[in-house]
Amino acid sequence: MTDRPDLPVNPVFAALDTPDLDQALTWADALRGHVGGVKAGLEFFSANGADGVRRIVDLGLPLFLDLKFHDIPNTVAGAVRAVADLGAAIVNVHAAGGPAMLAAAREAAEQSGGASRPLVVAVTVLTSLDDADLTAVGQAVPARDSVVRLAKLAQSEGLDGVVCSPAEITAIRAACGNDFKLIVPGIRPNWAASGDQKRITTPTQARDDGADILIIGRPITGTEEVGAAASRIASDLGINR
Ligand code: C5P
């Protein structure tokens, strides 16, 4: 089994939310030295595939490949091996895929080559779903109870952490302890527009509440000078470089 990688000192991962490879590369290049890593998701991957991922990884920034796998265990294991081989530092799956799928994802990451395996984290309940949506798809409510139950399930199957909203940090930290990684979007510096994010918190507050990685998109990529915006967030967090 390969070792779990250490997290970067700078907890900020910038979300490269674009299908445009040149745009993503321009952002990532300008962000080197100002963020701990970058995140690319389904929008980027669907447009640019494995080659696009390799181009980002080649820039040398840790990459969270946010593809939220959810399928039968054998298929998810194959997908995790494939993205681990591309050099992703963090990959994710839906906790609702169940214990066998979670265990298969973890085992696949452990079998992957390279100096260190990717972190494997779970999505619990999508923050776009409210209790009425969960009732509509036959899932238990309230959402908060499902979030904690799914986080504990992910932890018991050996996953490294979960993606959660700022509002969920305290409950998951209490249930899963200090070693479980919490990756948190919905972050807004107090000098940035909130956009469509409803329940937001500042980078400092999220870090102080117990977040390990802060996913920040538009406050960085919506500016002309992405490096300067990321640098301002780093200095808000007291990170000097
Ligand atoms: O631009 P913004 O900072 O809102 O981007 C946040 C990023 O985190 C986006 O990539 C978004 O898809 C992702 N995300 C989120 N809320 C979640 C899960 C992921 O905003 N619950």
Position 2 in a domain: no
- pLDDT at position 7: 85
- pLDDT at position 1: 41
Task: Residue 81: give the domain boundaries.
Answer: 12-236
3-state secondary structure of 184: strand
Total domains, the chain: 1
Q: Is 41 close to ligand 1, i.e. is its CB under 6 Å away?
A: yes
In which element (H, E) is residue 41 found? strand 37-41
- pLDDT at position 5: 66
Distances (CA, A) of 35 to 63, 116, 165: 11, 20, 20
Q: How many Å lie between the centroid of ligand 1 and the Cα of residue 1? A: 31
Position 145 in a domain: yes
Cα angle for residues 183, 186, 187 (degrees, 5° grid): 85
Q: Which residues of the chain fall short of a pLDDT of 50?
A: 1-2
Q: Is 118 close to ligand 1, i.e. is its CB under 6 Å away?
A: no
pLDDT tens per residue across span 96-138: 999 999 999 999 999 986 567 999 999 999 988 989 999 999 9
Q: How far is CA 166 from the centre of its chain?
A: 13
Position 39 in a domain: yes
- By annotation, the residues acting in catalysis are 68
- pLDDT at position 127: 87
Q: Which CATH number is 215's domain given?
A: 3.20.20.70
Cis omega before residue 142 (within 30°)?
yes
Q: Is 215 close to ligand 1, i.e. is its CB under 6 Å away?
A: yes
Cβ burial of 209 (10 Å; 0-12, 13-18, 19+) is: middle
